[in-house]
Structure 1
């Protein structure tokens, strides 16, 4: 199995190099990995070093509360932050809470040995998932503690299959699992791993902190005044078709703020064409928002988490594709959240559904019915109850970060 694993790792690296001239993602990974050693060698890694690995941007948002708590507790500690995916690295490569932000070199024994020798971490945190055999194995051999943070497991994963013995050895390298839920803990116990703590998800701490320090967005505030506003975050074309159909036939006091997942001009121009009501683009506004505007498109990044609070209902995109985006950034503002059918792998979405703070749709009719339930003239109580359920859920789940800090760092 190890031979097959090593072959797969090398094949992926080769494919990335060959695809670089034709594929932007491959080019970014290849270029970024080549720069890793240069960036690391430019830093003096003496003293205490903590290594945090996040697969992508979503995992970074889970790891961020921990990184910032560590930095606050010990300003002199050095932190190296690694990413696998360009969607994480390219957005956070200038993150100032880390001493170095780099792509993780491919998981070969030589890379693992070189990385660990160069950085010499005293503690290592992997966020949510990604179980790299050589990195984990070499950390264990070196006696360096490795912690999985906000980990979550499903019974269909290879670790829990009859043929998963070799993969279970990788899990055996972990010092402690801080899992999101009791189901994950039971699954680990079922394969003999007792080093578990049900800590929850550090993302709850992150979104709660964001809400408390959210920046004012005067344009969104002015646009939302005296109107019913739905904020749609990280929308894709399938989401946008449903949203546009609804708003085009909605009463004049109903408005939408849409922050699409893709903000390049080509996509935003196509999005504008979907609407028969007046639309304004955030990037093109000069002066006050026209009073006639019914749709405000946020065609820039970095504002969504602050903008949610200007609405009373949130729609979370991605549910008609690979999976929904972050529901918690909206729920923390006591807003009910609506999302598409592909949400079952997201524990927080399932929880919000069961508590009445979330609603799932499969088509236009479903969406219209949910909006009627929340927004019709006699539905104000439904809106309040759903929003309170969403907000209370987020508050009840906070606390994973301080728990981990107490256990591992004595803070």
Structure 2
């Protein structure tokens, strides 16, 4: 099975490598970290891993990296002398990881070819590896198991979409899952699903969602004013942040925004596409609609602040909490189109009224909790989004009550970090005892 898997990966590389070269020739850019992905590191790159125990945390992209922050903080406190290594698959995730003070080394996750994984594990020799969310790499799991490296699945989640596919190949997954020492799942349903997939039931536990353990400073009025000045936003206008939006969603958000402004609402939009590389496409959309806008990367060049009816188009990463801190209203994207939603807890964490669309299957449990607690609003489509925003603009008390209810919900669901850390500590202690 693993030989066949390697052959499939090798065949796919015959397509991927020419694509990387074409991208570089056409756009002058190539995918960052390509050498690291094949296990070739710059001289001195792995110096931090020498003569220190290495705890390796893998987070695919931005969302998983942010979810891992509470765990990384806890690991740093529990193991101050260890090397905390974070790997990512995407470039945006890598950029977020490099901004975290707790992290000693950031790398791109290796291609899952046996020869590559074997070389990387030999060079890094981690004491333990944590996969955030549901990341299953057959060769990595197999070869780490052969070396006696404990593998932990943290914040584990099996989505409604992926579960039928996983269940169909459970005979293939069972030997992969057998290499994991522990599965810390978000919910009872996720725990049952991974058992059906072949995970040893005695290694599965419900630890909760790490995202509930995120912490953020609640800015006071003076700090919000300073932030608005920094980003050249009108101090009088209400700020609506539409975060993590996708194609087909920006159109609905802009329709709602233009109608609200036409009604005389004193509203300013911060539009944050999920993938910054789409900002060129979104800027063309704004130009077609004759909506005045400024790019985040060029906003410092402005003399006058952005006013109601204008748009700040965000082409940066790692600043979402700052934007939510300035927000009076938050819409979280990936939910008006069938993407599955994105993390709604960051806005809730800052006591903001949060809205999202009907497609939240990747965050079904969180959305259910928020709805039950009256801590967020679900809207059916772009027209309903406009109506909900108008209602919240006219009812500041409702904005306040939504934000307060959400904050209380988070406070009542913390604890996943402590449970996951306990599992990690036990595995590391067991490995030390075995020598």
TM-score, length of structure 2 as denominator length: 0.81
1:388 alignment partner in structure 2: 404
Q: Deviations over 1:311-337 (max 9, x none)?
A: 232111233263433321111122232
- Indicate yes or no: 2:197 matched with 1:185: no
Within a 5 Å distance, the mapping from 1:186-205 to structure 2 comes to: 186-190=192-196, 191=198, 192-205=200-213
Alignment of 1:130-209 (within 5 A): 130-154=135-159, 156-157=162-163, 161=167, 163-190=169-196, 191=198, 192-206=200-214, 208-209=215-216
Task: Give a deviation string over 1:3-35, Cα, whole Å, max 9, x none.
Answer: 432222222333221211123697436344256
Q: Could you say which residue in structure 1 is the equivalent of 2:346?
A: 329
Q: Is the alpha carbon distance of 1:385 and 1:98 closer, same or farther for their aligned partners in structure 2, counting shifts above 3 Å?
A: closer
CA distance in 2, matches of 1:392, 1:313: 18
Q: Of 73, 87, 96, which residue of structure 1 is paired with 2:92?
A: 87
Say if 1:13 and 1:106, in contact at 8 Å, map to a contact too: no
| Paired position in structure 1 for 2:13 | 13
The RMSD of aligned alpha carbons is 3.3
Q: CA deviation at 1:176?
A: 0.8
CA drift of 1:91 comes to 4.8
Write out per-residue CA displacement over residues 176-210 of structure 1, whole angstroms, 9 at most, x where no aligned residue: 1111111111223444522122222222223x236
The normalised TM-score by structure 1 is 0.85
- Residues 238, 354 of structure 1: CA spacing in aligned structure 2 closer, same or farther, 3 A cutoff? farther
SS in 2 for 1:217: helix
Match of 2:334 in 1: 318
> Match of 2:41, SS?
helix
Aligned-partner Cα distance in 2 for 1:335–1:279: 24
2:432 corresponding residue in structure 1:
none
Q: Paired residue for 1:240?
A: 250
Distance 1:201 1:296 in 2: 34
State the Cα distance separating 1:400 from its structure 2 match.
1.6
Structure 1's unaligned 5+ residue stretches are: none
Matched residue, 2:287 = 273
Query: Contact (CA 8 Å) 1:40, 1:118: kept in 2 or not?
Result: no
1:398 is paired with a residue whose SS is coil
Q: CA deviation at 1:359?
A: 3.0
SS of aligned partner of 2:216: helix
Number of residues of Structure 1 aligned to a counterpart in Structure 2: 408
